[in-house]
Amino acid sequence: VSTQSTWGFSQSMASSSHFVTTLADVRMPRLIYGTAWKKERTTDLVVQAVTRGFRGIDTACQPKHYSEDLVGEALARLAAMGTPRESLFLQTKFTSVNGQDHRKPYDPNAPVDQQVQQSFAVSLKNLRTNYVDSLVLHSPMRDHSTTLQVWRAMESLVASGQVRQLGISNVSFPELKQLWRDAKVHPAVVQNRFYANSGYDRDLRAFCAEQGVWYQSFWTLTANPNLLDSKVLLDIAKRRGGTPAQALFRYLLDKGVTPLTGTCDPEHMRQDLEVLDWSPLSDGELASIDRLLV
């Protein structure tokens, strides 16, 4: 039986291991390296992150921080260094229909399912692979009908074996409930921006916990700079011989969340990975952080 905190996470989904198994039976790392905003540094940083121990990579698909082709270059370099693509969890995204994604030369006049298929074919080419572990819809479309058309096309990619699981990002709770009701293949992950101390997404996170959906948090530190100055996290970090950021990541791991970290700093990469080997926070430590997040 899962135990819900007031913040909407399930204690039963927590894991002390480096990997979890999603409802799609996919082995997913507890920490994933995100590639937004890195631009021309992306390839070198992905190689560095994997070399240091990351086994999950999340691409960025918006034009201002697009990364698929650079991640593909990193995958090729890593394979040449002895780390095969099959040893990594690779997650990419589908952005939009009707020609709104200028990086993907699909026919905007084609039916929606063909637009998705054409776009995904470009993704595979960019990433230099023949499958992805996780395909995430970057955000719902303007109406649920179009979202469902896109989702049906994504489901066909799962059926073809080119995609192992599906997910959705930047989604509200009502939108997720609609999709869950109508989907044939349910999302295995939800990826949303993380606003820790505002109660943001509480109901959505609770729903994910109940359904066994893994919640991926992005901008985990960027969106919460004041939280890292709290005495609670500072005290936990001091007792653990770590940093407030590490204490927050350990809290999220213990609550069943998969944080995305996008650091460019080698020392921060080491610290992020080190958290996987921390012992779980005590009930008292968890409760003290819970109270910060109401």
Crossing angle for the helix pair 202-211 and 173-182, nearest 10 degrees? 30
Average pLDDT, the chain: 88
Which H or E run contains 288? Answer: helix 283-292
- Report yes or no: 157 and 135 within 8 Å, Cβ to Cβ: yes
Least Cα distance to 221 among 247, 186, 199 occurs for 247
Which backbone phi and psi does 192 adopt, to 5 degrees? -130, 155
Least Cα distance to 71 among 101, 92, 100, 96 occurs for 92
Residue at 184: amino acid letter: K
- Report yes or no: 107 and 114 within 8 Å, Cβ to Cβ: yes
Tens of pLDDT along the chain (294 residues) come to 333 444 454 444 554 479 999 999 999 999 999 998 777 899 999 999 999 999 999 998 765 567 899 999 999 999 999 999 999 999 999 987 766 666 666 788 899 999 999 999 999 999 999 999 999 999 999 999 999 999 999 999 999 999 999 999 999 999 999 999 999 999 999 999 876 655 667 889 899 999 999 999 987 777 667 788 899 999 999 999 999 999 999 999 998 899 999 899 999 999 999 999 999 999 999 999 888 876
pLDDT given for residue 105 in this prediction: 65
- Report yes or no: 237 and 247 within 8 Å, Cβ to Cβ: yes
Q: Is 218 left (phi over 0), alpha (psi -120 to 50) or beta?
A: beta
Q: Say whether pTM exceeds 0.75.
A: yes
Residue at 8: amino acid letter: G
Residue at 62: amino acid letter: Q
Could you tell me the two tokens for 249?
């990541």
- For the stretch 251-278, pLDDT in tens is 999 988 999 998 999 999 999 999 999 9
Beta strand segments in 88-174, E: 89-94, 134-137, 166-169
d(CA 292, CA 294): 6
